[in-house]
Structure 1
Amino acid sequence: MKTKIQTVLGDITKIQGMDAIVNAANSSLLGGGGVDGAIHRAAGKELLAECRLLGGCKTGQAKLTKGYGLPCTYIIHTVGPVWNGGTHNEAGLLASCYQNSLDIAVKKGIKKIAFPSISTGIYHFPVELAAESAAAAVKQFLLEHDGALDEITWVLFDTRTKLIYDSVVSREFGR
């Protein structure tokens, strides 16, 4: 079965029909700004309580929690790299965010997953490079795990980011 790959413009905390959403978290996992803050607010205080038990998360790694007040069963928290000019393995660390998030998804039987544009907000990762790294990581994962996922959606918060992801996804996945 071919995995459906798509981009949508919207708020990841309101996306319907997903088994899991991915949180672009900080290393404490205790909430922050941007997507992370929005997910924590929408999920409720139970999420913070569970995150306190996880002991944080290293850049490029991922951890799983319940979805609580969100319209999904799970949240996969991953810590993207802060952009430092591209000389500190930022692209590799970002690819690891996707790889590790997708590994967790497959292990938990998650079939439909939604990602934000990881690291492109306050971490200042250039959107074009982030989209390329993300799409390449997802494509590689799907080559190794054919049929493991039914749907991968990028939920993008602004039109510019969506247009960039649309272009990259179209090029990488022929859509």
Structure 2
Amino acid sequence: MNCIRQFLAKHAKCKPVHGSVPEPYYRAQTRALLPNINSTLTLDDVEYKGLNGRVQEFSINRESDKLVLAVEFRNLYTASDRTHFTVYRRAREPITTVDFLKVLYKSMTITIVIPDLKSLKLEQAETFSYVDDGAPRITIGPNAFNSPDPTVRRAAAEFYPSLPIGVREAYLTEGSFIIITFIQKTLCDFGLNVL
């Protein structure tokens, strides 16, 4: 970890840190896109646990001028008492219900590729999430997807069977927040305000 800190500090405009991500960690809001069931989940006052991952890979590719960092997160927990379950309907307004959502992933590996080795630019990085746990434990409140509308009932019926796809879809964007938070709290603070 110290070698990674030193490399980042030398090749980026960041300040080395020797801490950890606070547990629990809070975020005002996040959104999970679930195009497979034409829905989004918008979580307010989100609580996270398990953001202190373990570095699996750290490599420097001088030919492509990129740094690769992969971090495994175990028992990654996300929860919100106020989650907006929005289902989109053809040629009509979407329907939104609100209830709680809790998700626990046993294991997830997030890889970040940062360009420009001479002056690493975290804000230009690409992130890829590999959800090792295809069946996370999910608990949702009884009012989630609670509507007589047939489109909403269909989305609710498809939610659990399509869960492995939905998890991958959601973490296309959520992975960036998680790994950048990990980097800035445990390795080197780039001064980015990740919302």
TM-score (norm 2): 0.26
Q: Which has the higher strand share?
A: 2
Larger Rg: 2
TM-score by length of 1: 0.28
Structure with the largest fraction of helix: 1
